[in-house]
Amino acid sequence: MSQRNEPGNARPTRPRSSRPVRPRTAAICAFALVLVAGLVLAVACGGGSGGGDGSGAQRAESSARPHAKPAPRRIWDRSPSSLAAVGDSITRGFDACSLLADCTKVSWATGTADGVNSLAHRLLSDPRGRSWNYAVSGAVMADLPQQMRRAAAHKPGMVTVMSGANDACRPTVATMTPVADFRTSFREALRVLRAEAPKTQVYVSSVPNLERLWEQGRTNPIGQRVWGLGICQSMLKNPQSTAPADQERRQRVQQRVIAYNTVLKQECAKDLRCRYDNGAVFGYRFTPQELSNWDWFHPSQAGQRSLAELAYEQITRKRPAG
């Protein structure tokens, strides 16, 4: 029996038994094996169209992982050339020299008195000519952006910040600064600084432990009388009382101070040129000798000296504590 040829492709008729015809499915399978083998070889050798980057490296988008970016390097100069201070009455040396008066010469940050050995005196070769104090007695965190603007005008090597005690020291617990507002004001202060002085370092002191200050002065007759005139009533009102309402009030103030310090730590950590004291001031146990003889609340000259020592230790560390 003969096989018909298609027109234009005439081939001689061969006996069916001369060579078995390969089934179509077998041919397809053979071709597929060759194709797969070729693809495997191409992958192993880094070849193939569109499969590499031109240098033999293969792109595997389904399994590729982005390289982890290195953490930004924090920048810290332990020997700044100039220093500006912002904050509240503590940085102004209030009640450290005389009743109800600032005494900046004994300020822990910029003081010039030898007995205090201020931060400026420790860090700068010319503390009188290269340090500025823009803190304001009675200031709250909402006042910090304006203070920071004045400080930034000098393009100082470092700005010290000690603010927040007056946000908790209010006539009542209900009038304490909300934590969200505290955060907003501190962020704005840093933004103002960075807009004017992007390379200035910032050293941030924690808010003092107001409950511990109450513990130190509550048994002193002078302290009790002065506190009764209106100092920090959210914490110091009825200093001898152990009534549940008074204890609960003091605890609320304490928790607010802790929340403020958490904000300072978190926001400072976002700035590569900012260093928080990691709670050094909050954790410091002021002795009666380190508190003002006029109000038993603000630091005395001895207390100012202790604050300067704390700050100097934190600033000159190779790495921040904590």
Task: Using the predicted structure, report yes or no on whether residue 50 has a pLDDT greater than 70.
Answer: no
Q: Which two tokens stand for residue 165?
A: 């005690």
- Asked whether residue 255 is domain-assigned, the answer is yes
Band of pLDDT at residue 57, cut at 50, 70 and 90: very low
pLDDT at 53: 42
For residues 222 and 296, the answer to whether their CB atoms sit within 8 Å is yes
- Return the percentage of the chain with pLDDT > 90, whole number: 70
pLDDT at 65: 61
pLDDT at 142: 98
Closest C-alpha to 227, from 271, 272, 171 = 171
CATH number, domain with residue 204: 3.40.50.1110
Residues, the chain? 322
- Asked whether residue 19 is domain-assigned, the answer is no
pLDDT at 250: 98
Determine the Cα–Cα distance for residues 236 and 211; give it in Å rounded to an integer: 9
- The three-point CA angle 92-300-90 to 5° equals 25
The string over 182-192, giving b where at least 16 C-beta atoms fall within 10 Å of a residue's C-beta and e elsewhere, is bbebbebbbeb
User: What tens digit of pLDDT does each residue of 130-184 get?
Assistant: 999 999 999 999 999 999 999 999 999 999 999 999 999 999 999 999 999 999 9
Average pLDDT over residues 117-125: 96
Q: Which two tokens stand for residue 28?
A: 């397809």
Number of domains in the chain: 1
For residues 204 and 284, the answer to whether their CB atoms sit within 8 Å is no
What is each CA distance from 208 to 62, 173, 278, 311, in whole angstroms? 53, 17, 12, 13
User: What tens digit of pLDDT does each residue of 175-228 get?
Assistant: 999 999 999 999 999 999 999 999 999 999 999 999 999 998 898 888 888 898
- Asked whether residue 248 is domain-assigned, the answer is yes
- Asked whether residue 127 is domain-assigned, the answer is yes
pLDDT at 68: 65
User: What tens digit of pLDDT does each residue of 13-36 get?
Assistant: 444 444 444 444 444 434 433 333
For residues 76 and 52, the answer to whether their CB atoms sit within 8 Å is no
- Asked whether residue 7 is domain-assigned, the answer is no
Average pLDDT over residues 269-273: 97
In sequence order, the 6+-apart residues with CB closer than 8 A to the CB of 162 are 85, 87, 88, 90, 91, 109, 135, 204, 205, 281
- Asked whether residue 66 is domain-assigned, the answer is no
- Asked whether residue 23 is domain-assigned, the answer is no
Mean pLDDT, rounded, of the chain: 84
Closest C-alpha to 104, from 129, 126, 85, 81 = 85
- Asked whether residue 60 is domain-assigned, the answer is no
Domain extent for 198: 83-315
